[in-house]
Structure 1
């Protein structure tokens, strides 16, 4: 099992159709006793927060964010954690908006 996410920083691999997170968005994760949370900002996101749980290499969380146009959005995401050959972490995500139509997949990787 991969060690704690606490204090690790991640960024999106690429822009995703239907999403607002892009390669300029930086996530700072925290973890304690199976609970995970993060704050994120950058690119089209002024401020975002997520909170949920971790079970092994699976994360399940809800997110809420404010974009640069002043719109708020919420959604649900399930992510799978993996270890890259260079030792960094990667999260492969399947997400769905709850406050508006849309869903997709994306990936974020740990910043070096």
Structure 2
């Protein structure tokens, strides 16, 4: 994660996401920054990824909600997700940006 309107992103330990996809079904996990452990599941149609998520917070408690991400391509070929999300019980809409980290050789 490189930016988020929901919280400041720790550049030394940002939230890192791992995505998998099969036949349009998307799932994965994430951790880092303010999140101890998170999971999500959803679907991809074209360049739109729609998920539901829940995560445990380092400060205690949990947070969950829904999001829709737009898949974009960086000039160097990496993927970039621009996500609009909303936490359960909160009408505030947030935006985050995640950029693909190349796999180690």
Shared fold per TM-score greater than 0.5: yes
Task: Give unpaired runs (5+ residues) of structure 2.
Answer: none
Give the direction of change, closer, same or farther, for the CA distance of 1:47–1:106 in structure 2 (3 Å limit): same
Counterpart Cα distance in 2 of 1:53 and 1:21: 26
Q: CA deviation at 1:82?
A: 1.1
* Matched position secondary structure for 1:107: strand
2:10 paired with 1:13: no
Counterpart Cα distance in 1 of 2:90 and 2:37: 18
**Within 5 A, what are the aligned runs for 1:29-48?**
29-48=19-38
Give the direction of change, closer, same or farther, for the CA distance of 1:72–1:21 in structure 2 (3 Å limit): farther
- Kept in 2, the 8 Å contact 1:20–1:45? The answer is no
Task: Give unpaired runs (5+ residues) of structure 1.
Answer: 1-11
Counterpart Cα distance in 1 of 2:38 and 2:9: 10
2:57 paired with 1:71: no
Counterpart Cα distance in 2 of 1:60 and 1:32: 14
- Kept in 2, the 8 Å contact 1:74–1:99? The answer is no
